[in-house]
A = this chain, B = another copy of it.
């Protein structure tokens, strides 16, 4: 899941949420955040009071080519300033307490963000500092909180990982990829007639070899062989290989048979 793509194609695809890092501590993390944003199709980064100032060269070193996101990021003194032009703001928060506020899963938030951005409103997501997370005043700037469903026994989530999960959900919220498909590349899945043709060839040779000599068991054995080859979609190319394998094995057997006869005749 690696390989550097450079950031040449990091051009916004439409209205997407702003990522707001509140008092981030480590430049390495800011760079990793930019990379995760690029992965999920988020482009606008804002920093509120970064601890070590800005810019920080380590961020660019850790962004794996997501330079455009860092180049265009803006720095703000307060959360209120960073969200001033936004219409809807979400705040990630692992353990909300004593607050009356809607709490969304990452997937639920992604769906709402898509809805908001689809109306040409501007949305943002707040992420807190590495150690402490967002404070109560930060969360009061948000419409709703986001809490990821994750292992309650180990919730310690790295900042860039938190952004990754949200960016991934943002992307997949509109992704149409089917959950499973057979990739066949240069070849295509065989038709049932092509598969049948091979099965006839195979059973003929198994009969000739004596493998199916037990007549009462023969129908069940043939059925089981059929089930095996129907289970995964076999491609044309694989059928050609299978035909070749059966032919060669049969020839080998006949050759060996002839050799054995020759030996017996001696």
Contact = CB atoms under 8 A, between A and B. Distances in A.
A150 B179 contact: no
A-B pairs, top 9 by smallest CB distance, nearest first, are A108-B179, A9-B153, A1-B162, A38-B154, A149-B175, A1-B157, A41-B151, A149-B177, A103-B183
A95 B153 CA distance: 34
Contacts of A151: 38-41, 171
The range of chain A's interface size is 35 or more
A158 B9 CA distance: 18
Contacts of A180: 102-105, 108, 112, 144
Instruction: Give this chain's copy count.
Output: 2
Interface string A120-143: 000000011111110000000000
B2 A157 contact: yes
Interface stretch (A45-53, A184-192, A214-222, A245-253): A184-192
Interface of A: 1-5, 7, 9-11, 32, 35-36, 38-41, 64-66, 92-105, 107-108, 111-112, 127-133, 144-145, 148-162, 164-165, 168, 171-172, 175, 177-187, 232, 235, 237-238
Given A2-B130, A159-B1, A150 B40 contact: yes
B185 A65 contact: no
Contacts of A108: 178-180
B38 A107 contact: no
Nearest to A63: B156
Contact of A107 (B11, B40, B112, B179): B179
Contacts of A97: 185
19 contacts: A2-B133, A3-B94, A10-B154, A11-B153, A35-B158, A39-B151, A39-B161, A66-B154, A96-B183, A103-B180, A103-B182, A105-B180, A108-B178, A112-B180, A148-B168, A149-B171, A150-B168, A151-B171, A164-B165
Contacts of A187: 100
B10 A183 contact: no
Contact of A183 (B102, B133, B171): B102
